A and B are shown apart, each in its own frame.
Chain A
Amino acid sequence: MPTYLIERNIPGAGDLGQDQLRDVAMASNKVVADLDVPYTWIRSYVAGDKIYCVHETEDVETIREHARCGGFPADLVVEVAAEIGPQTADG
């Protein structure tokens, strides 16, 4: 299944409190459950005025559907072409 990187513009995202982040995570889980298609939310990074998310699913449209249903902005959605790290240098 393809992996997608999603950039969400949210002014003040870095200032969101624990309670708000929990609400956001609950909302996302609920949408994932309701979508009824293969969908995995892998991880998200909250930084400055952005949230960057890594999700796995069949296609871009499903990523957008998840965003619309949950009320998450999705300003940029790109498929991950490759994953590299320090160990890639060894390969």
Chain B
Amino acid sequence: MERQGELAALESWLGEARAGVGRLALVAGEAGIGKTSLVRAFCDQHADAARVWWGSCDALSTPRPLGPLYDIARMARGVLSSLMAGDASRHDRFSGFLEALSWPLQPTIAVIEDIHWADEATRDLLVFVARRLADVNALMVVTYRDDEVSGDHPLRQVLGSVATLTVARRLLLPRLSPSAVSALAAARDADGQQVYRVTGGNPFFVTEVLAGGTGQVPGTVTDAVLARAGRLSRSARSVLEAAAVVPDRAEIELVRTVAAGDTDAIEECVQAGLLLATDRSLRFRHELARLAVEDSIPGTRRPGLHAAVLAHLADQPAGDPARLAYHAEQAGDREAVLAHAPTAGELASRLGAHREAAAHYERALAHSEGIEARVRAELFEQHADQCTAIDEEAAALRSYDGAVAAWREVDDPERTATVLARRAYALWGVGRNDEARASVEDAIALLESRPPGLALATAYTYSAHLHMLARQIPQAIELGQQAIAIAEDHHDVALLGRALNIVGAAQWFVDPDQAEVTLARALEAAHRSGDDTIVGVVMRMLGSGSGEVRRYDVADHWLREGVRWCAEHDLDIHGDYCLAWLARSCFELGRWPEADQVATDAAARPSQHTPTRIVALTALGRLRVRRGDTGADEPLTEAWDLAHATGDLQRLWPAAAGRAEAAWLAGRAGDIPGLVSDTFELAVRLGQAWPIGELGFWLWRAGELRTPPEGAAEPFARQIAGDWRAAAEAWERVGCPYETAVALADGDDPDELRRALTILGGLGAAPMADRVAARLRGLGVHDLPRRPSRATASNPEGLTGRQLEVLGQLVEGRTNTQIAAVLHISPKTVGHHVSAILDKLGVADRREAARLARDHGLIET
């Protein structure tokens, strides 16, 4: 069929892979469009010139975790197959696959079919590999139904993450043209126009219709398939039905047992073009055909077929628990569900397929009535934890409640308390703060009369965390320290890392020097525990916590380090948050071009994590306000709305301040009290110095306050007290040039006003500069510098902040290794940035990029 162009595209990418430039081909199109046929034809053509590995995601209601990787391991043999057979960690499996992909003798074509059905772990694997494929001699091909990946389909985020990578290439398969259909129809003496009208040019449908060969055109693809199946003998028909109830791979042995069919019956199905026999298993020519046959089996007969499949699979060694659980449920076999679903859940959870794990535990719970309380408690607890991992809070809370009741029934206070503590955190997440506090207090009350153990330490840690989030700092520190002591006694480094992280986070507000020391210990414990996520969490806390109290040298270091660590370890949510915070600290430090790029970048991250968006949009909006750019309202309003929903001071305060500043610069000082009063009161209630200072400052500007509010941070307090000179000095020490200039602008010393004007001009802060210039003119000064324009108005290529930095280094003529050292990132990452820059600028090499950057003023030299 007419797919020469697509084959040529795949071929050229394989050529690039052969030269050591890895490629990821995303092959998309509706069901039946011929994705598999295309990729199979391509692989067959190159079977002698490349290693071909093939894995498929399956249509089980809860797919096997890493199913396609198991398929591939069977073909790849070697280290990968022993990794997959053993109990290696998920990271080792991912790395093992990546290593196996590079092979010096030939390129490798690794195909993963139907990733719209992929489990969560396989989706993570795709992102992991795609990000590291650039210098591997492999072509990875994935196929998916693009019309089924809409709205909140989990694959969307994966596609968003990989589509922008330089390794990614997309191939969208169109339907057949009317003339192609007519040509095919003519060969079978059918009416081409009619076939096209019914099928719309869908190749699978066209083939099914034409295979009917009766001259009569069936109205739907189901009719076409069933018409073909209807001509089979009785025994062949039962083979077909047996194969149809197995959505993943129907082994020939299995079909024979279930259908009691002989080789002739199987051969008849193959001859009729309904089944394909490959590698000791049978599959339908297409999933659409399997569904058509499965749906045609009467509901009364289906459980019996599944029971037979289950019986056969249960007899095989090392059966896949996800398959067993599926057939057990379809057969209505309660005992078998309870035997296999929890095992499947455990395996899925270990591989990071939390969505699938939650589904398995839910399946088990649906059949759990009347079983032993201890077993039911474990199921509820596992289900709740998996739901928490995928942000399904409502379901998590239902199961935490079930777990608490069941653990109480068996009278196990330690387990009851641990669940109560975790439940508290989930309650806080949905804004039920009072219940959350009550839950964690219940947990502590259950344990305090007993010898201190890890359950109590866990409860203390959660309680400390909730106090920290509510900015009840002394309580957070005290409880956290009790948790630290117990964790140390019991040598539990993971718990120690978590507890130290909370205490350090709380200390930023009362003793920043100590906070840095505590968090350094937390980081050390996190590294020792081997849990990459805790390391990322602590780095994020080091960066954002120090940023919030304006210790920018610490913040800048850890935010960049956090971005790097999280990128290397695929901790997107934490990495994105560090990136957004980096934008904020660049903004406050007056590095506005970088702030602009980084904030834009962070706001557009595919994770769409709410805290990240709030921080990024606030920085972006405030930046636009200070520059006098258009379009400041939109990000600030969105940030405010999102922050308002959280009710957290740390989210609300910067957005409120930004909106107040916008109103003031626009001459609407009267709007300010309405924009900041509530948040100001919250800050006063919690005794937080920087928000009290900044929001108090705006109320003072609006004439609502006369004296500095109690507890306000020093620079703001000085300015409100009228000591603009001391305020400016304090801001200079902190490192904020814009605030320095604003303080100077309150004075009446022409020299200091000129200094303010110079600072604002350098920043490109036009609205504030206009005000200062007007004041100077009022004082009779007339030889003023030109009005500032935006420092980097010219970045039409849309380079990100990081890319601009790398480009700056290229202009200096530095090598990747030198750049890596300067920017604290790996040389490999520098390489990725350089190729992205070359792509965006449309130049062939780094020398040309540097020349272009100089000529067009992309870099301030």
Which A residues have a C-beta under 8 Å from some C-beta of B? 8, 10, 13, 16, 20, 23-24, 27, 30, 34, 51, 64, 67-69, 71-75
A16-B104 contact given A71-B51, A73-B49, A74-B48, CB 8 Å threshold: yes
A73: chain B residues at CB < 8 Å are 48-49, 105-106
CB-defined contacts of B105 to chain A, threshold 8 Å = 8, 10, 13, 24, 51, 71-73
Q: Is the CB of B106 within 8 A of A30?
A: no
B47-A72 in contact (CB<8A)? no
Name the B residues within 8 Å of A10 (CB-CB): 104-106
Q: Of A8, A34, A51, A67, which one neighbours B77 at CB under 8 angstroms?
A: A34
13 pairs of residues in contact across A and B, judged by CB atoms under 8 Å: A10-B105, A16-B104, A20-B104, A27-B78, A30-B78, A34-B77, A68-B47, A71-B51, A71-B105, A72-B106, A73-B49, A74-B48, A75-B48
| Minimum CB distance partner of B76 in chain A | A71
B104: chain A residues within 8 A (beta carbon): 10, 16, 20, 23-24
* A64 CB to nearest chain B CB (Å): 8
Query: In the complex, how many angstroms separate the beta carbon of A59 from the nearest chain B beta carbon?
Result: 17
A50, B51: Cα distance in complex, Å: 18
Interface of A is mostly: helix
Residues of A contacting B51 in the complex (Cβ-Cβ under 8 angstroms): 71
**How far apart are the CA atoms of A74 and B108 in the complex, in Å?**
15
In the complex, which residues of chain A have a beta carbon less than 8 angstroms from the beta carbon of B48? 64, 67-68, 73-75
Nearest B residue to A19, CB-CB: B104
Apart from A16-B104, A20-B104, A71-B51, what 15 extra A-B contacts exist at CB < 8 Å?
A8-B105, A10-B104, A10-B106, A13-B105, A23-B104, A24-B104, A30-B77, A51-B105, A64-B48, A67-B48, A68-B47, A71-B106, A72-B106, A73-B105, A75-B48
Q: A20 vs B108: C-alpha distance in the bound complex, in angstroms?
A: 16
Expressed in whole angstroms, the Cα–Cα distance for A75 and B49 within the complex equals 8
A81 to B108, CA, bound (A): 34
CA separation between A91 and B114, bound complex, in Å?
65
Chain A positions within 8 Å of B106 at CB level: 10, 71-73
Chain A proximity mask over B98-130: 1 for CB below 8 Å, otherwise 0: 000001111010000000000000000000000
Bound complex: CA A24 to CA B106 (Å): 11
| B19 nearest in chain A by CB position | A11
A-B contact count (CB 8 A): 33
- Docked Cα-Cα span, A13 to B104, in Å, equals 8
Q: How far is the CA of A64 from the CA of B77 in the complex (A)?
A: 18
Chain B interface (Cβ < 8 Å from any Cβ of A): 47-49, 51, 77-78, 103-106, 108
A25–B369 Cα gap in the complex (Å)? 57
CB B560 to nearest CB in A, in angstroms, measures 35
Residues of A within 8 A of B108 (CB): 71
Tell me the minimal C-beta distance from A47 to chain B in angstroms.
Answer: 14
What residues on B are CB-neighbors of A72 within 8 Å? Answer: 105-106
Q: A38 → chain B, closest Cβ, in Å?
A: 21
Bound-complex Cα distance A27 to B51 (A): 13
| A27-B105 Cα distance, complex, nearest whole Å | 11
Q: Which residue of B lies closest to A74 (CB)?
A: B48
Q: Which residue of A lies closest to B104 (CB)?
A: A20
Q: How far is the CB of A45 from chain B (nearest CB, A)?
A: 15
**CB-CB < 8 A to A71: which residues of B?**
51, 103, 105-106, 108
Cα–Cα distance between A34 and B47 once the two chains are bound (Å) = 20
For the complex, give the distance between the alpha carbons of A16 and B49 in Å: 19
Complex CA gap A74/B105 in Å reads: 11
Q: Which of B104, B106, B108: most chain A CB closer than 10 A?
A: B104
Report the minimum CB–CB distance from A6 to chain B (whole Å). 12
| List of B residues within 8 angstroms of A74 by Cβ | 48
**A63 → chain B closest CB, angstroms:** 12
**In whole Å, how far is B28's beta carbon from the nearest beta carbon of chain A?**
28
| Chain B residue nearest in CB terms to A72 | B105
* CA–CA, A71 and B77, complex, Å: 11
How many whole Å from B72's CB to the nearest CB in chain A?
Answer: 13
Closest CB of chain A to B727's CB: distance in Å? 64
Residue of B at shortest CB range from A15? B104
Closest CB of chain B to A40's CB: distance in Å?
A: 20
B residues near A24, Cβ cutoff 8 Å: 104-105
- Considering the complex, give the chain A residue whose CB is closest to the CB of B50: A71
**Among B49, B105, B108, residue most surrounded by chain A Cβ atoms (within 10 Å):** B105
Complex Cα gap A73–B49 (Å): 6
B769 → A minimal CB distance (Å):
60
- Which residues from chain B contact A68 at a C-beta distance below 8 Å? 47-48
For residue A10, which residue of chain B has the nearest CB? B105
The 4 closest A-B pairs by CB, nearest first: A71-B51, A20-B104, A71-B106, A10-B105
Cβ distance A73 to chain B, nearest Cβ, rounded Å: 6
A74 to B372, CA, bound (A): 61
Bound-complex Cα distance A10 to B106 (A): 7
Query: Distance (Å) between the CB of B31 and the closest chain A CB?
Result: 31
Please indicate the chain A residues that have their CB under 8 angstroms from the CB of B49 in the complex: 73
Q: How far is the CB of A70 from chain B (nearest CB, A)?
A: 8
A74 to B106, CA, bound (A): 11
A16 to B102, CA, bound (A): 13
Q: Give A8 to B78 CA distance when docked, in angstroms.
A: 22
Q: How far is A6 from B95 in the complex, measured between Cα atoms in Å?
A: 33
Tell me the minimal C-beta distance from B554 to chain A in angstroms: 42
Residue of A whose beta carbon sits closest to that of B108: A71
Chain B residues with CB under 8 Å of A75's CB are 48
In Å, the complex CA distance between A23 and B99 comes to 12
Chain A residues with Cβ below 8 Å from B77 are: 30, 34, 69
Q: How far is the CA of A69 from the CA of B51 in the complex (A)?
A: 8
Across the two chains, which residue of chain B brings its CB closest to A73? B106
Residues of B within 8 A of A51 (CB): 105
**Docked complex Cα distance between A20 and B137 (Å):** 14
Give every chain B residue within 8 A of A20 (Cβ-Cβ).
104
Complex: how many Å from CA A75 to CA B78?
24
Chain A residues whose CB sits within 8 angstroms of the CB of B47 once the complex forms: 68
Q: How far is the CA of A72 from the CA of B106 in the complex (A)?
A: 7
| Min distance, Cβ A57 to any Cβ of chain B, angstroms | 18
**Measured between C-beta atoms, what is the minimum distance from B158 to chain A in Å?**
28
Q: Report how far A8 CA is from B49 CA in the complex, Å.
A: 10
Nearest residue, chain A, Cβ from B52:
A68
